[in-house]
């Protein structure tokens, strides 16, 4: 019975994170309760980066790579805040 309670608690605590990666730096950009929602956000973020690709290249900015991965609520940094798609341009990285 204890194992079942732990599983249920674990699934309630599970989220999907859209993660931004630049080199070795990794930031959680946004979290979602479903993988489908995270994939939609991922597509939007990749679209924003593509739209500004020329500008980013001319400015010498390293472009973030976005991935989706599962995360537990307890693994979120204490003062975590969502990261705008191009937040690294405003020093939000």
- The verdict on residue 41 lying in a domain is yes
- The verdict on residue 87 lying in a domain is no
Domain of 25, in residue numbers: 13-74
- The verdict on residue 28 lying in a domain is yes
- The verdict on residue 55 lying in a domain is yes
pLDDT confidence of residue 88: 62
- The verdict on residue 5 lying in a domain is no
SS3 category, 39: helix
- The verdict on residue 66 lying in a domain is yes
The rounded distance, in Å, linking the Cα atoms of 93 and 89 is 8
The rounded distance, in Å, linking the Cα atoms of 47 and 38 is 14
Q: Give me the tens of pLDDT residue by residue for the chain, a chain 93 residues long.
A: 443 444 444 455 789 999 999 889 899 999 999 999 999 999 999 998 899 888 888 888 888 899 999 999 999 988 998 888 776 665 554
**Adjacency order of strands within the sheet including 65-72:** 25-32, 14-22, 65-72
CA dihedral 34, 39, 44, 46 (to 10 degrees): 140
pTM given for the model:
0.76
Work out how many domains the chain is built from and give that number.
1
- The verdict on residue 86 lying in a domain is no
- The verdict on residue 88 lying in a domain is no
Tell me how crowded residue 37 is: count the other CB atoms within 10 A of its CB. 16
């Amino acid at each position: 019975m204890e194992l079942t309670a732990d599983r249920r608690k674990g699934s309630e605590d599970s989220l999907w994170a859209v993660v931004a990666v630049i080199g070795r730096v990794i930031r959680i950009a946004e979290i979602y309760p479903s993988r489908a929602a995270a994939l939609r956000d991922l597509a939007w973020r990749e679209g924003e980066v593509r739209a500004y690709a020329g500008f980013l290249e001319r400015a010498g900015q390293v472009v973030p790579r976005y991935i989706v991965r599962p995360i537990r609520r307890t693994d979120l940094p204490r003062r975590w805040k969502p990261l705008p798609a191009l937040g690294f341009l405003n020093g939000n990285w």
